[in-house]
């Protein structure tokens, strides 16, 4: 007769449970290590992607700079030669005007030639200004006053169907800049906006600050860690596709009809913003308007806080 011994299986079961527990702990630890490795790999890949994007942006900026420099040098030489030709044309036209009656058709036609020649000289002066890249005198400016002075000059020339509004959180938007150049930036962008809207729509200008830690600045490799004043100019026009945006700052590139645009306006805007150690961002979609964001380093001077007067 075999006796029943209920305690014979317990040591074996305990050993199995111990081994299972150890294996479970090993699996958990391996899972933790795998997760850590996965996080590390993801972080490394993200850093590599960021570094690659930064490299591509630097290469793009370098290529753009080299292209602008080459075109500027070529344009300068052509502009000088063409200017000499225009001087000769204008001289002979003026002499011809003296030899004909003032009320004659010939005199009027010669006047048209002279007028066209003067417009050519204005274009040449813009090309030379673009190609020289000389440093201009800069001083502390209050952006709001600068923009308001531009709008006071522009509004009488803007079509009746176009509305321009400006908003700002406060008046403390100081930059170190050249007022004439900044006027040119605002005028060129607004004129382009009016053209894009065919004279019917709204242009909105907004002023605000961008902190040195703002993620927006990460898209500009090598940008100084400063506070920036941001001018946003948005229109309700037809917008642009990505192919147009990619070339918008190229000299002599224009989508306007022949005779209505030189393609130097936004190239000049880009050059001026860069000269002010700033950046410019363009966002646009077909049918949804266009937005330009201009970043200019904020001028931080204790004298401003103490009520010193600067020209705005």
Q: CB of 150 within 8 A of CB of 183?
A: yes
**Strand-strand pairing, 228-235 and 201-210:** antiparallel
Confidence of residue 272 (pLDDT cuts 50, 70, 90): confident
Q: CB of 72 within 8 A of CB of 133?
A: yes
The whole-chain average pLDDT of the chain stands at 79
Q: Which pLDDT value is given to residue 32?
A: 78
Q: Which of 55-59, 157-161, 292-296 has the lowest mean pLDDT?
A: 55-59
In Å, how far are 113, 118, 125 from 90, measured between CA atoms? 8, 8, 16
d(CA 89, CA 20): 100
Q: Which pLDDT value is given to residue 72?
A: 64
> Is it the case that residue 306 has pLDDT exceeding 50?
no
Q: Which of 32-41, 166-175, 229-238 has the highest mean pLDDT?
A: 229-238
Mean pLDDT, range 27-45, rounded to an integer:
77
d(CA 268, CA 131): 9
d(CA 188, CA 266): 7
Q: Which of 16-25, 237-246, 290-299 has the highest mean pLDDT?
A: 290-299
d(CA 147, CA 204): 12
> Is it the case that residue 138 has pLDDT exceeding 80?
yes
Q: Which pLDDT value is given to residue 309?
A: 42
Domain ranges of the chain: 10-134, 139-305
Determine whether domain 139-305 maps to CATH 3.30.565.10.
yes
> Is it the case that residue 2 has pLDDT exceeding 80?
no
Q: Which pLDDT value is given to residue 262?
A: 62
Q: Which pLDDT value is given to residue 295?
A: 94
Q: Which pLDDT value is given to residue 186?
A: 93
> Is it the case that residue 155 has pLDDT exceeding 90?
no
Residue, of 154 and 256, whose pLDDT is higher: 154
């Amino acid at each position: 007769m075999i006796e029943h011994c209920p305690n014979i299986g317990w040591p074996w079961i305990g050993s199995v449970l111990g081994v299972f527990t150890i294996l479970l702990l090993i699996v958990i630890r391996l899972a933790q290590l795998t997760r850590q490795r996965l996080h590390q790999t993801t972080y490394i890949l993200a850093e590599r992607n960021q570094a690659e994007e930064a490299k591509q942006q630097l290469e793009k900026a370098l290529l753009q700079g080299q292209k602008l420099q080459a075109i500027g040098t070529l344009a300068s030489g052509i502009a000088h030669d063409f200017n000499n030709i225009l001087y000769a044309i204008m001289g002979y036209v003026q002499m011809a005007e003296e030899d004909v009656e003032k009320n004659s058709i010939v005199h009027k036609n010669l006047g048209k030639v002279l007028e066209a020649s003067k417009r050519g000289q204005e274009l040449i002066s813009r090309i030379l200004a673009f190609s020289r890249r000389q440093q201009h005198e800069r001083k502390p400016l209050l952006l709001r006053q600068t923009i308001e002075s531009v709008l006071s000059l522009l509004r009488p020339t803007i079509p009746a169907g176009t509305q321009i509004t400006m908003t700002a959180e406060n008046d403390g938007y100081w930059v170190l800049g050249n007022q004439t150049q900044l006027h040119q930036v605002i005028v060129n962008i607004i004129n382009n906006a009016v053209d894009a809207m065919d004279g019917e729509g709204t242009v909105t200008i907004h002023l605000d600050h961008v902190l040195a830690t703002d993620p927006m600045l990460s898209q500009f490799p090598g940008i100084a860690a400063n506070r920036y004043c941001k001018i946003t100019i948005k229109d309700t026009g037809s917008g642009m596709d990505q192919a147009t945006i990619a070339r918008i700052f190229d000299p002599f590139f224009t989508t306007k009809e022949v005779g209505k645009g030189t393609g130097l306006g936004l190239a000049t805007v880009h050059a001026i913003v860069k000269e002010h150690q700033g950046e410019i961002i363009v966002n646009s979609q077909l049918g949804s308007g266009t937005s330009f964001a201009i970043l200019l380093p904020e001028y931080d001077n204790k004298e401003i806080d103490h009520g010193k007067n600067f020209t705005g």
